[in-house]
Structure 1
Amino acid sequence: MTLKVFRQANRVIAITAISSLAMLSITTHAATYELDPKHTAVRFTVDHFGTSTNAGGFYNLSGMLEYAPKEQKGFVGITIPMGSLDTGLKAFNNHLKSADFFNVEKYPTAYFKSTNWQFNGDKVSAVTGDLTLLGKTHPVTLIATKFNCYDSPVLGVEACGGDFETTIDRTKWGMDTYTTGGMMKDIKLVVQVEGSKKADLKSQ
């Protein structure tokens, strides 16, 4: 399959995520927030053969957040440009982008689409959803370490977001390089999400 076909498939996934978001808007009175790439990122850490910890991140993410606190419902759809991967070391970036790991040339985009939000009292406690990576989709649960809304003094609108953590088994997505040599298969993810409220089209 060509890179062009894969990119077309990625667009279809993105459209599906947007459609799910629109469905939530129809069934609830959730507010809609456009994710801010300056405050939205996915960072990871992984054990390096039991000696140290490697770290890196993906940036310039895009997507939408919907949040209905009174109904205790929400939705988040995130598009992750895999080429934005950065560890601070060019050679290491290139290796992680290769077919040994994230295979960015063949799979330039990853996606997360939530399927369920959990609350503890009136606080967001976890978000469950589907992570599409390397052409494979598996469920993951993101544990909220914080989530809040505030009136942004910079943007002049309400902003909502939070920090989430999870640990995934990279082999589920077909990334098994060096697992037989002692490199751990578990990757810790820290997901930072923040979006600014979009204007209500009905009021315009």
Structure 2
Amino acid sequence: MKKSLAILALAAPFALFAAPSHAAPETYAIDGTHTFPRFSYSHFGYSKQLSRFNKTTGTVTLDKAARTAAVDVTIDMKSVDTGFELFDGHIQGSDFLDTATFPTAHFKSTNVVFDGDKPVSIDGNLTIKGVTRPVTLTVTSFQAMPHPMLKKDAIGANATTVIKRSEFNAGKYAPNVGDEVTLDIAIEAIKQ
């Protein structure tokens, strides 16, 4: 009996290493210094205008083993950056973003589709100017690895979709100023 107990006592620590490990969901906080939602549209057919938002917050929850994820992002619409200060104010007016009434936009995922270990599309609800519509983001790149400077796990991705601004009550001058707006989101997030 004593011999059996001794064998069990010696074997127990090794059993922990042999047991399959189950990863738990991990939460990553948006890195606001490397996360910039950008948008582009046709300006009277003359050119494709490209602008961005400079302040974004939120989280990404990722379970690598289960291949599931969730995204919850808030964009400060007053941080719009067109490259021209006067136009920044113009685009924040009631005909476009109406940031006095709706200072933020919000995206919350409803489903993330994986191909192997990488997400390839993200379904979710996008809210702009109090209007919520379903969108699907196509993930064009994804990286998960330790951050070389911060020494913490980090993730990064680029994703894109096309929306109609008129569907969010921001359609002034359409179709001369393009109704279709391409959203291109660059995101980095650090494990908490």
Q: Check whether TM > 0.5.
A: yes
Alpha-carbon separation, structure 1, partners of 2:52 and 2:76: 11
Match for residue 181 of structure 2? 187
Question: Residue type of the partner of 1:94?
Answer: G
Match for residue 69 of structure 1? 64
Structure 1 vs Structure 2: percent identity of aligned residues? 35
- The structure with the largest strand share of the pair is 2
Correspondence 1:117 to 2:112 = yes
Match for residue 138 of structure 2? 143
Deviations 1:89-126 (A, max 9, x none): 01111111111100111110111101100112332101
Match for residue 3 of structure 1? none
Equivalenced residue count is 170
Alpha-carbon separation, structure 1, partners of 2:59 and 2:117: 21
Correspondence 1:128 to 2:123 = yes
After TM superposition, which residue ranges in structure 1, 4 or more long, deviate above 6 angstroms?
none
Match for residue 40 of structure 2? 45
Alpha-carbon separation, structure 2, partners of 1:85 and 1:161: 22
Alpha-carbon separation, structure 1, partners of 2:116 and 2:74: 30
Post-superposition shift, 1:154? 1.5
Question: Residue type of the partner of 2:180?
Answer: D
Post-superposition shift, 1:69? 2.2
Deviations 1:26-77 (A, max 9, x none): xx82111111101111001000011111111012211111111221110111
Question: Residue type of the partner of 2:183?
Answer: L
Alpha-carbon separation, structure 2, partners of 1:149 and 1:119: 14
Alpha-carbon separation, structure 1, partners of 2:163 and 2:106: 15
Larger radius of gyration: 2
Unmatched segments (≥5 aa) in structure 2:
1-22
Alpha-carbon separation, structure 2, partners of 1:157 and 1:176: 43
Q: Secondary structure at the match of 2:33?
A: helix
Q: What is the TM-score when the length of structure 2 is the normalising length?
A: 0.85
- The structure with the largest helix share of the pair is 1
Question: Residue type of the partner of 1:50?
Answer: G
Alpha-carbon separation, structure 2, partners of 1:159 and 1:115: 22
Unmatched segments (≥5 aa) in structure 1:
1-27, 199-204
Alpha-carbon separation, structure 1, partners of 2:119 and 2:64: 9
Alpha-carbon separation, structure 1, partners of 2:117 and 2:174: 41
Question: Residue type of the partner of 2:75?
Answer: I
